[in-house]
Structure 1
Amino acid sequence: MPSPQTNTSRVVPVCGEACEYDDWFQRAHCEERDLDQVPLSLGCESSRILELQVNRIQRIGLQSFSGYRNVKTLDLSRNDISIVAPESFLNVNQLKNIILSQNYLTKIYNGTFAGTEYHLERIYLNNNHITNMSRWAFQGLSTLSLLYLNSDEIRYLPPDVFSEVVSLQYLSLSDNQLTEIAASTFRGLVNLQTVFLDNNALTVLPEGLFADLESLREVDLSHNNLVFVPLQNTGFSPLQVLNLEDNHLKSDVILPYLSISQRLYIGGNPFICDRDFHRIQQWYLYHTEVDSIYYAHRRPPQCVTYDMNNTTSDTVTFLPEDIIPTSDTPSRMAVSNKFVDFSVKTESKIESTTTTAKETEPTLTSSTEHYHESEKYGNEACELHELFIYCVVILSVFFALWVMKSVGRLLFLRQKRTVDNKMNTLII
């Protein structure tokens, strides 16, 4: 039988010949085969995993996967794909995972994933050149739980674009070019747990963006241009992680976030050494019990003070390093299960004036003394806790020995009574 031909008279590769098929795992290894199109399914009809990564495939069409009806995981990463036609996956309606990372896609069309509505769980579209997507790009994908759209060039998200992805738990939109986002973008995503919006160009978030997301646990909004984040009265339980690093947030807007997150990252924001910044210190140092200090390589928050006696209006002096736990390595304080990336690193752009130093010295000394006092009490509490545990262990051992001795004595007496009864019987 002659080999199948394309419209351009090129020989279409056959999976059984061009690829290595693992019958035990039902896996077709077609990666790095210099393929410029999806091979015919002959010889791989039972495949559950189809690996086509690192080839030269440029387009996915309606008949590309004809015959691969059992495939559950499809890897098309690191090809030259620029177009995925609508309904391209109709013939692989058992798909659970689609990997399209590191290609040249620029748009996601209506009905791109049609036919996969009842099984699809994960889509990887990261590291492409996607600038926009259709309003119905993810229509009907009610089982989708994970969606990677990071490291693309997305400038705009249609309102309600994720409205039908009701099972979505993880959404990454990091490293894009978003400047705004509609209030209805996440509406109805009651299972959403993690949202990454870091490294975009967001300046404002609309009220209600995170409203009624009762499962939300982690939000990353770092490396944007935000001056305010509407997270109050949103209906979700306290977040496990809230990352607000490297934005344009001021001290007076940070305080409300302290009560809604277990881990709060606020480094890289333009805090002024004013009363509001001092209130943040007070909250962590005096209103909660310091349990321990964790160190991590994260950027510490800094506050700046302006020298009003200097003719240069943008002259900045960073606070001395003895205001908070100090180290070039930032510290993360665990405060009643709340973590904060809150050390202040020493870094002076100019020499501060004598007046400024004298004015700030009493406050800094007081803060340092209170911190070391809290640290001393924390260490004493830890020692008492260890001593208590040691005593409990010793008492438990003695109690166990007493129980064993008592049980042994009871068994001995019982055995002795039995022997005596037998002897009495023999005598009679």
Structure 2
Amino acid sequence: MDCANLNNPDIFDRTIIPGDTQTLKLANNRITDEKQLEETLVTLTSLRELQLHGNELAKLNEATFAQNCNLEVISLGHGNAGMKLPETVFVGASSVKILDLGAAFTKIHPELFSPLTNLEYLFLQFNEKLEYVDASSAQIDSISDNAFTSSTALKQVLLRRNSIKTLEPETFQALEELSWLDLGRNELQIIMPGTFTANTDLKILDLDQNLIDTICPTAFSGAKDNLESINLAYNRLPEELNKNFCLDECDGDIGEFWNILDALFSNSTDCLILQQVSSGFVRFIQLEVEHSMP
């Protein structure tokens, strides 16, 4: 049912929405009444797609979408500026696969996305004031290289306990204020040159419990002045690198990390890769990677 772009804040009073509606487009109507919205949603148990972007909602309440057990797509951004979202707003919305909060300028609670166990696509673009994102345990298997391009104020990004397999060097390039990045317990295998070059304020980098067997020293060069902790424990790296390095009370000192890189790499363009040999042992070789630096 398409009721979008009518510029009608009283849309719920003037429209009868059938109970078997599967797609409901309410975008750009200047809707402000979240209670009327909830009363309408309760009746729409077959709803699969809901477009609410471009309205003037100031807040949503706990379990707003709990009755919509088939709901897969929610668009809330691009309007609704500053909308308050309680950490429980998505309780009961486990079927949601696509969530668009682009340009919503909303605060993201650490547990906001926890109920969205089937979430596949999350859009946060144009949230220029967004400083913190926790998408841990969100079943994410990939991140596009422009995922954070328009969220340049981000300082903390937590992506722990997902299934991320690759990182493009451009993924975090726009986040010059990034201070903490947690990518632990994913399925990363290689850290490419230039991956963290632009993150000069990076202090904490968690890469533990991945499958990393290839590492390139220039991936971290931009963070050398400020990096206080890098956790590489439980990967497939040489024993001397397979540690948690920090300033105090870790497996190794952060200065030791940089010294090891300097000792292992004779050429700054090389990468260290794990290689199985016929004898059954493993050895580490230096591999020159051709990659254009940003």
Q: TM-score range by the shorter chain?
A: 0.5 to 0.7
| Deviation of the 1:88 alpha carbon | 2.8
Q: Does 1:143 align with 2:108?
A: no
Distance in structure 1 (CA, Å) of the matches to 2:64 and 2:86: 10
1:167 aligns with 2:118: yes
Q: Deviations over 1:215-273 (max 9, x none)?
A: 56568444331144232x4233448999657532579979999x5899xx979x5788x
- For 1:65 and 1:280, locate their aligned partners in 2 and report how far apart those are by CA, in whole Å: 68
Residue number in structure 2 paired with 1:288: 287
Aligned with 2:122: secondary structure? strand
1:149/1:250 Cα in 2 relative to 1: closer, same or farther (>3 Å)?
closer
Alignment check: 8 A CA contact 2:181 2:204 kept? no
Contact 1:79–1:103 (8 Å) recurs in 2: yes
**Aligned partners of 1:71, 1:239: CA distance in 2, in Å?**
46
Tell me the CA shift for residue 202 of structure 1.
2.7
In 2, Cα distance between equivalents of 1:59 and 1:216: 47
The structure-2 alpha-carbon separation of the partners of 1:211 and 1:53, relative to structure 1 and needing over 3 Å to count, comes to: same
Q: Is the 8 A contact 2:59 2:83 kept in 1?
A: yes
Over the matched positions of the two proteins, sequence identity in percent amounts to 19
Per-residue CA deviations over 1:38-83 (Å, capped at 9, x if unaligned) read xxxxxxxxxxxx122221122565x776441222112222332233
Q: Which of 40, 53, 71 does residue 21 from structure 2 map onto? A: 71
Q: Which residue of 1 aligns with 2:181?
A: 229
- Alignment CA distance shift 1:243-1:107 (3 Å): farther
Q: What TM-score results when the alignment is normalised by the length of structure 2?
A: 0.61
Query: Counterpart in 2 of 1:190?
Result: 139
Which one of the candidate residues 193, 198, 211 is aligned to 2:160? 211
**Aligned AA (2:51):** I
| 2:270 partner SS | helix
CA distance in 1, matches of 2:76, 2:113: 15
Higher relative contact order (CA 8 A, sep 6+): 2
Distance apart, 1:130 and its partner CA:
3.1
User: Please, what is the CA RMSD of the aligned residues?
Assistant: 4.4
Report the Cα distance in structure 1 between the residues aligned to 2:63 and 2:121, rounded to whole angstroms.
22
Following superposition of structure 1 onto structure 2, how do residues 30-41 of structure 1 map, counting pairs within 5 Å?
Answer: none
SS in 2 for 1:288: strand
What are the ranges of 5 or more consecutive residues in structure 2 without an aligned counterpart? 226-257, 273-284
CA distance, structure 2, for counterparts of residue 67 and residue 240 of structure 1: 51
* Residue 283 to residue 289, structure 1, CA distance change in 2 (3 Å): closer
Q: TM-score scaled to structure 1, two decimals?
A: 0.44
| Mapping for residues 364-375 of structure 1, pairs under 5 Å | none
Q: Are the aligned partners of 1:169 and 1:193 in contact in 2 as well (CA < 8 Å)?
A: no
Task: Kindly indicate whether the alpha-carbon contact (under 8 Å) linking 1:147 and 1:172 is maintained by their aligned counterparts in 2.
Answer: yes
Q: Distance in 1 between matches of 2:203 and 2:87?
A: 38
Unaligned residue ranges in structure 1 (runs of 5+): 1-49, 291-332, 334-339, 344-428
| Aligned 8 A contact 1:60 1:84 in 2 | no
For residue 152 of structure 1, what is the aligned residue in structure 2? 104
User: 1:67 touches 1:91 (CA, 8 Å); kept in 2?
Assistant: no
Alignment check: 8 A CA contact 2:114 2:137 kept? yes
Q: How far is 1:139 from its partner?
A: 1.3
Q: Which has the higher helix share?
A: 1
User: Following the alignment from structure 1 to structure 2, what is the Cα–Cα distance between the partners of residues 58 and 203?
Assistant: 36
Choose 92-101 or 81-90, whichever is displaced more. Answer: 81-90
Which one has a bigger Cα radius of gyration? 1
CA deviation profile, 1:118-145 (whole Å, cap 9, x unmatched): x111111121203430122111111111
